[in-house]
Structure 1
């Protein structure tokens, strides 16, 4: 959601103020689904407080795709744009406060923003940042071992290690919780390096 970039683009604050009454503010306990896999996404989501994850059902086993935190936005984008069932579930993993902006109002907001000076460049930078991140994640999952992915996570995104439960981190890395414990044990003994 575009509002996650308010700090980088302060002129978005006037849009936030204008669109705030059109958003649903929800206080949600941990493990609350914001969107179910297979349902068409109708909202852009902005996180004021808390942590959410996206995951899909992999033959009865949950596979975590990504984590999102304060001041980040998300949606099941393909579902949201193309009116197709979402390939994954969006769920809170901490007590969270989220804002939901309907598709109608999100499109209206984007249409208004197209008249802003430098909006296209800003939007391209935002999109490039996300695509670069996801491409890196995809390549890492193919190329790197679970140990390398854990070390990268520890070095580049330590807040995930600090805030997210081990079972979700294991699911994100594509390993069992037992395997994750072994990785952490090797790291504690100094037997694991980049």
Structure 2
């Protein structure tokens, strides 16, 4: 079943085929909650098609932490790896086609396949490095600079993600984002 995994990671084709029964496919509508903050994450998702966001609720205000797109894995990894309540919610932004695997099956693959374990480590390392850069941007940059960096480095987000989530991701209001965008429009 996980043909999409084989395409995304050709080096893993044999491993994917060996464990294909561990995966199942789900198609979910936009605005579907995959994980609620406070629940323990026992599932890992691979995005075949669609867009997902990771968010945190701070004093009743939802803050978008990261976005995920095709050929990326998504979970609340801290919760998934440590079996603790998640600090994050995970929600689809668009209709999503996902490959899903339960934690116990994922652990079997990881234990039996060093190459798969290495790929997972690389992915999670990249994810945490991106998160650290995003966190530092809140400290070191003004909102307009964060928006310019988003245009420069992750412009695909602007085409697929609603403005309220982009504003939240940048740490500003939608009104502030509209003003920044208006100033950046060619006259």
| Structure 1 residue 148 corresponds to structure 2 residue 118 | no
Please list every run of at least 4 consecutive aligned residues from structure 1 whose deviation after the TM superposition is greater than 6 angstroms: none
Contact in 2 for aligned 1:4/1:73 (Cα 8 Å): no
Which of 160, 174, 177 does residue 177 from structure 1 map onto?
A: 174
Q: State the 1:151 CA deviation.
A: 0.6
Query: For residues 8 and 97 of structure 2, what CA distance do their matches in structure 1 show?
Result: 22
> What RMSD in Å do the two structures reach over aligned CA positions?
2.2
C-alpha contact (below 8 Å) 2:40/2:85 kept by paired residues? yes
Q: Is the 8 A contact 1:51 1:69 kept in 2?
A: yes
CA distance in 1, matches of 2:85, 2:72: 23
In the alignment, structure 1 residue 24 sits paired with structure 2 residue 33: no
Aligned residues: 185
8 A contact 2:54–2:65 mirrored in 1 = yes
Give unmatched runs, 5+ long, in structure 2.
none
Secondary structure at the aligned position of 2:90 is classed as strand
Shift of 1:21: 2.2
Q: For 1:70 and 1:150, locate their aligned partners in 2 and report how far apart those are by CA, in whole Å.
A: 23
Q: Which residue of 2 aligns with 1:48?
A: 48
Give TM-score, length-normalised by structure 1: 0.87
**Does the C-alpha gap of structure 1 residues 23 and 7 become closer, same or farther in structure 2, counting only changes over 3 Å?**
closer
**Structure 1 residue ranges without an equivalent (≥5):** none
Question: C-alpha separation between the residues in 1 aligned to 2:183 and 2:51?
Answer: 28
**C-alpha separation in 1, matches of 2:120 and 2:30:** 32
For 2:11 and 2:141, locate their aligned partners in 1 and report how far apart those are by CA, in whole Å: 40
- Partner of residue 111, structure 2: 111
Structure-1 separation of matches of 2:11 and 2:176: 47
